[in-house]
A = this chain, B = another copy of it.
Amino acid sequence: MERRRRVGGWGFEGESFPPSAELLAWLEERVGPPEHSLPSAAAPPPAIPPRPLPGLPFPVSVDPLDRLAHARGQALPDLVRLRTGRVPALPDGVARPDSADQVEVALAACSREGVRVVPWGGGTSVTGGVNQLPSDRPSLVLDLERLAGLAALDRHSGLATFGAGTAGPALEAALTAAGLTLGHFPQSFELSTVGGWVVTRSSGQESLGYGRIEDMVAGLELVAPAGRLRLQALPASAAGPDLRHLVMGSEGRLGVVTSATLRVRPRPASTAVEAALVADLGRGLDAVHELVTGGVPLTVVRLSDPAETRVAMAVGLASSRAAGLVRAWLRLRRQGEGSCLLLYGTSGDPETVRTVLGCARSVIRRHRGTILGRNPGRHWQRDRFRHPYLREGLLDLGFATDTLETATPWSAVAGTRERVAEAIASALDGEGERVAVLCHVSHPYRDGASLYFTFFFRTAGDADRTVARWATCKRAATRTVAAAGATLSHHHGVGSHHAPWYEAEVGPLGREIVATAARLLDPGGILNPHVLLGPVDRLEE
């Protein structure tokens, strides 16, 4: 039985991840009791009649629910607007091309008639990357779901070519049948697609072992209004700039990625994730730094700060034996308040996994960590794609939550975490609201790591005010990130949310290089015009 995507919320209908009583108690303590609950399903927006679109040699849906389902991504303001019927614009139609040729035809027709085009993969952008915003020009969504599946497999070279609309589970199923894996497991894995991964520079939870999507893309095809760019699969090249890296991160602004040739690997026999507790964040960071620079071949490393550690226990471990152990340990040690949860895991044949985890344990013990064993890791593995559902249950009750992330060299990790967390925590002081902030360090590299923040506040009485609270937090965080010289995004992209700060990261000349490429590839400026290069702050739209 095929699962149906939920409109106006994360994931599939019927799925949920209800907040535990412990989490709710913690939230009430941190931000106060909720005051305004939200409708739990998408409310019908005011009727917006579809405007005429160019004729295409394949069907274009103008079904109201289809249009609503393709109006917004999955950031908090998107959910709030969808649930309250306050969506300011809908696409005028949704086209589902089944080939690169059909994409080309659609782009030509839309270029001719000045119709905006938003390429659509899994629709999971949390940075306003696929949002419809009001415009005089009509808008067509190109949903790539029919451009899916394994198109070619070169087993000896470890290269698999997939249609851009292939979602995570279908991709891994096709590879599993051949004894292979891509190893790309972003939290959005069940919904997001190859094309979306490529154009947002996605990074999966096991990136320490398998690399980011950039490391996996050997070749790709981009269809733009100005023509096609086919970059053949190559292990490496010194033949000029690497144009794959211009397409990767282009967020639908330079063209539509129609397929990608990805580096795949033999499927590991087993994956195991363990947990440890370290006495404080400083020691945890030292342990992670040593694990990564020392070359212990882990695929996952994730260190929660003290606040996230408490919440992780309240959310994920509530029902497990491990939680009992952890609480006992916390009682035992007086410094428990500052303790940090460290997850670390690897993949391979069972013996390799045992050896590698053994190495990791000895590093962690050297940093005075206490090994908790596999139970917390098993919970994390089981629930890791379900965590986004938690947000839906919290919104039902009147707690708003969203996430943002950055990355920075090791020397700046601790300081950036502190400054960004403080900026978010105090963002709503002006209106007397509190914000709770959690953070974890993950995706470590030899030269730095990412910082992933989750923040919570109470929803306001109406959608616009709730979105305004969110925007205030987001602006405070992004300003602080940019001032710290950290990146606007480690794996969520620029979208429309970060676009006003894009120049702060790459400079005016850097922005102009990308804008010039966009003018060349899309002379009519029809492609996803609000993302990446749009200088206007559209957080509240």
Contacts and interface: CB of A to CB of B under 8 A. Distances in A.
Interface of A: 154, 156-159, 200-203, 212, 214, 218, 224, 226-251, 263, 265-266, 289, 293, 407-412, 443, 445-450, 485-494, 498, 502, 505-510, 512-514, 516-517, 520-521, 532
A500 to B, nearest CB: 12
A238 B517 contact: no
A233 B447 contact: yes
A514 to B, nearest CB: 6
A152 to B, nearest CB: 11
B521 A513 contact: yes
A315 B5 CA distance: 67
Question: Chain A's interface: helix, strand, loop or mixed, by majority?
Answer: mixed
A235 B411 contact: no
Leading 8 A-B pairs by shortest Cβ distance: A235-B448, A245-B245, A157-B409, A201-B238, A235-B445, A237-B487, A157-B410, A239-B488
Contact of A249 (B231, B242, B249): B242
11 contacts: A158-B447, A218-B409, A234-B409, A235-B409, A238-B489, A240-B250, A240-B502, A241-B517, A244-B245, A245-B246, A263-B447
A411 to B, nearest CB: 5
Given A232-B485, A410-B156, A241 B246 contact: yes
A251 B245 contact: no
Interface centre among A232, A234, A410, A532 (most CB of B within 10 A): A234
B156 A235 contact: no
Nearest to A410: B157
Contacts of A212: 236
A445 B154 contact: no
Given A409-B157, A517-B516, A239 B447 contact: no
Nearest to A297: B295
Contact of A239 (B234, B494, B513): B494
Given A236-B203, A242-B214, A407-B237, A520 B510 contact: no
Contacts of A443: 236
The oligomer's copy count stands at: 2
Contacts of A520: 512-513, 516
Contacts of A226: 509
Given A245-B246, A509-B229, A517-B513, A239 B498 contact: yes
Contact of A508 (B227, B448, B498): B227
Interface centre among A266, A510, A520 (most CB of B within 10 A): A510
A300 B313 CA distance: 46
Contacts of A502: 239-240
Given A240-B250, A263-B447, 7 more contacts: A156-B289, A233-B447, A234-B487, A236-B448, A240-B506, A240-B514, A242-B248
Contacts of A486: 234
Contacts of A485: 232
Contacts of A507: 228-230
A447 B159 contact: yes
Interface centre among A156, A237, A502, A521 (most CB of B within 10 A): A237
B513 A246 contact: yes
A519 to B, nearest CB: 8
